[in-house]
């Protein structure tokens, strides 16, 4: 009987989102309990790989964030490529929509944060914190709604979050990275060119792509740029169509192969490893701190204002338009969900500030804003989407 219940649970469309949220709640509870030290030791357990003089020294936390999440971004990249070629993003207007929305979702939050911290060179350094969208948790909230949400809205959200994350990686590399390795960036570019040649020669076997994809991941990791970028790059080299019409699409084959592992193993692990926010030192009076207030207003209000305003202006100027099966009310729900910054915002915050006092303000601001965005986004999407 329990086995049957488990099987039925994993068949639900909302199962990945439920697991993600349960893992996040578990992490918060553990971090603020007597198990806090064990949780920290577990995440900082070192796993090293050494081949001759080459080595990668990372703890479990970094292996999850830099390694397993690269597979998640590979899956997302595969889905985006498929939609760009033959799906919901295949026209210029449809592709322009997430691009315009992502720019608005970065610009307005940054302006709000800077305006509240203007004149303070230390706190202004955190301007990028409210510009980030946590794609895993944003997608998790949407998957909780199952078939209520149109696939085109989900794809649009993923595309916005992907562009947002790519911009975040560029921001981190430009403003928060001091040890960028030009040599490894060059090596990554060479491997990318090899993948381009393999794709151009219409090689449909997945093994060469996976082998060079692993090498690409290593070089991107060593370059100092967030390693998840390698997953997105690799996805765009995987061929969608096969030379032999009787063969299955290499892209779809890889997508279906890794999707269960990503949804039911990688994302819950990611949530458990990153959602452990400590409430130590948090006080409600900190809400009025310029850093905390800038993050809350930037993420919760700035994201929705930026996405909606830029999308509306883009539609007026005929640059983009909403898919025919998405209403403006549903799109507003999507704009709310983009305010879930969580792990990406916390990561940028750790780079922007080293002072523990500012870190407490960052944690409080990100937690409040992400909760508000997730709750109100879920409610709005549920009320504006019909059950199927």
pLDDT digits (tens, 9 = 90+) for 131-179: 988 887 888 888 888 778 888 888 888 888 878 877 877 777 677 666 7
- Report the alpha-carbon distance of residue 237 to residue 64 in Å, rounded: 24
Query: Residue 41 pLDDT more than 60?
Result: yes
- Report the alpha-carbon distance of residue 338 to residue 334 in Å, rounded: 7
Question: Which residue range(s) make up the domain with 90?
Answer: 2-384
CATH number, domain of 143, equals 1.20.1530.10
Kindly give the residue spans of alpha helices, DSSP state H, lying in 201-245.
Answer: 206-223, 228-235
244-256 per-position pLDDT tens digit = 655 678 898 999 9
More confident residue, 296 or 161: 296
Q: What is the pLDDT of residue 13?
A: 63
Confidence of residue 243 (pLDDT cuts 50, 70, 90): low
Average pLDDT over residues 208-223: 93
Q: What is the pLDDT of residue 62?
A: 85
Q: What is the pLDDT of residue 79?
A: 83
Query: Residue 388 pLDDT more than 60?
Result: no
Query: Residue 9 pLDDT more than 60?
Result: no
Q: What is the pLDDT of residue 264?
A: 87
Confidence of residue 218 (pLDDT cuts 50, 70, 90): very high
Total of domains in the chain: 1
Q: Which residue has the tokens 């905390």?
A: 292
Q: What number of CA atoms fall less than 13 Å from residue 184's CA on the CB side?
A: 18
Query: Residue 309 pLDDT more than 70?
Result: yes
User: Residue 341: which of 161, 108, 134 has the closest Cα?
Assistant: 134
Q: What is the pLDDT of residue 137?
A: 83
């Amino acid at each position: 009987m329990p086995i049957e219940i488990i099987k039925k649970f994993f068949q639900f469309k909302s199962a990945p989102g439920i697991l993600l949220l349960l893992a996040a709640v578990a992490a918060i509870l553990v971090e603020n309990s007597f198990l806090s030290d064990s949780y920290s030791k577990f995440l900082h357990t070192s796993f090293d790989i050494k081949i001759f003089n080459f080595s990668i020294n990372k703890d479990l936390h970094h292996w999850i964030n830099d390694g397993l999440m690269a597979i998640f971004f590979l899956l997302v990249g595969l889905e985006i490529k498929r939609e760009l070629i033959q799906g919901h993003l295949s026209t210029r207007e449809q592709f322009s929509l997430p691009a315009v929305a992502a720019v608005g979702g970065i610009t307005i939050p940054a302006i709000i944060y800077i305006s509240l911290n203007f004149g303070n060179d230390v706190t202004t350094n955190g301007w990028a914190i409210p510009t980030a969208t946590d794609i895993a948790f944003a997608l998790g909230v949407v998957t909780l709604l199952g078939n209520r949400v149109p696939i085109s809205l989900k794809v649009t959200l993923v595309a916005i979050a992907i562009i947002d994350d790519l911009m975040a990686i560029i921001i981190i590399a430009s403003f928060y990275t001091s040890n960028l390795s030009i040599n490894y960036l060059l090596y990554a570019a060479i491997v990318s060119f090899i993948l381009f040649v393999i794709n151009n020669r219409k090689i449909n076997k997945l093994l060469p792509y996976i082998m060079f994809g692993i090498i690409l991941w290593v070089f991107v990791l060593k370059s100092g740029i967030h390693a998840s970028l390698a997953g997105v790059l690799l996805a765009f080299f995987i061929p969608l169509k096969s030379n032999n019409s009787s063969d299955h699409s290499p892209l779809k084959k890889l997508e279906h192969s890794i999707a269960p592992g990503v949804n039911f193993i990688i994302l819950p692990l990611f949530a458990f490893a990153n959602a452990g926010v400590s409430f130590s030192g948090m006080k409600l009076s900190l809400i009025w701190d310029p850093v905390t207030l800038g993050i809350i207003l930037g993420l919760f209000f700035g994201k929705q204002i930026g996405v909606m305003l830029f999308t509306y202006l883009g539609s007026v100027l005929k640059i983009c338009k909403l898919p025919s099966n998405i209403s403006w009310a549903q799109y507003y729900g999507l704009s709310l969900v983009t305010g879930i910054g969580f792990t990406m915002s916390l990561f940028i915050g750790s780079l922007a500030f080293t002072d523990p006092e500012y870190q407490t303000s960052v944690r409080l601001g990100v937690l409040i804003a992400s909760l508000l965005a997730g709750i109100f986004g879920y409610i709005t999407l549920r009320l504006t989407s019909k059950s199927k």
